[in-house]
Amino acid sequence: MCTMIVQQVTIAGSGKGREGWFAVKQANVSYDHPFHAPFEHALNIDFVDEAQGPGARVAVELSAEAARSLVQTIQAVLGEAEAGGHI
């Protein structure tokens, strides 16, 4: 926990974890040490359902550059869907 930079956001959707799909209720977004990505710090997102315990987690660990690119892409896709009347 060397940066302690973390925020939580309530979300709705599904994630596929070790034991299959489950409803994700919260996303925990941190910029701290990753477990696997080969960086000192990474933008970590854990999609979780805390009520189901620590194992109900879908994790990604991204470089800061990749995370910014992902944010832009998500915004672009949502914008396109909105423009097309899908949202």
Partner 1 sequence: MYETNMYEGMLAETVTMTGTNGDIINAYYARPLGPGPFPGMVVIHHMPGWDEWYREATRKFAHHGYAAISPNLYYRAGHGTPEDVAATVRAAGGVADAQAVGDIAGALHFLKAQPILNGKVGVWGTCSGGRHAYLAACRAPGFDAVVDCWGGRVVMAESDLNDKYPVAPLDYTKDLSCPVLGIFGADDHSPTPEQVAQHEAELKKHGKVYEFHMYDGAGHGFFYYDRPAYRQQQAVDGWQKIWAFLEKHLV
Binding site for partner 1 (CB under 8 A): 1-4, 6, 8, 28, 30, 32-33, 35, 38, 40-41, 44, 46, 48, 50, 53-55, 57, 59
Element (H, E) at 74: helix 64-83
Computed on alpha carbons and rounded to an integer, the radius of gyration of the chain in Å comes to: 14
Closer CB to partner 1, 28 or 70, in the complex: 28
Nearer of residues 59 and 70 to partner 1, judged by Cβ: 59
- CB closer to partner 1 out of 54 and 85: 54
